[in-house]
Structure 1
């Protein structure tokens, strides 16, 4: 079990997870979740229940006091089926999370902030946002492989407030 619990999960979006194939938008999108964030930020799901999932509540960034939901799924056929290969966590986009197909773009940054065990706030930064570069630096300095970082709320708000 991982011992450090984080309040903030930062990820830079990739073309693959946003549904781009050969430079064109072809499929629905999702947020790929690093296994480093499972158990430290998001709940662990049952590895022996095929495609175990939870509905996560998010505070709607466009309508304060409105709760929206998205499916958090553990694609786990590596453990749940003979000859399975998949072992990854995803949060799938829907019209509540992504208002349209182009809502999120490759290389933008999404920040998940844990409000409590069952509720999250989501923030979205494009390269035009002044906070983008500091968040990109946090990802680059992260010990998590890929486009991810885990922080405490204090560290996150200290970084963001430096640019306000």
Structure 2
């Protein structure tokens, strides 16, 4: 099965959706900066992610040894997920083709959860998440020098995901 990411998702009135922070349900992975493709989503909904975040998701899956792996095609950039019977009882593959902006529509293979205070996190994860959450703000949260780059990375990841569109 192959999925192709849609264009920038919007509300019914054309207003762009905001980024959200995700983790894999029951884990402390992430935060993954994602763009929901609808105003209401479920744990198995697909969300848009940049290539950098898709790579992080794949790395975390490989560390988890959950029976699900991902690999990028060097020529096309397509991301193929492969899973064993241990993962879902049947096994299979799914290929995600990046959209024209290099974003990947990922979901349906494991349950997403919102990344937040109920998830154990490090100071670095918090700085990254705050940067992503504040990507549209003109005032920024200040962190000690060791964490400033993570805050900046979070802001940049959110900007890259939304194609630098300014939301109202």
TM-score (norm 1): 0.36
Structure with the largest fraction of strand: 1
TM-score (norm 2): 0.35
Structure with the largest fraction of helix: 2
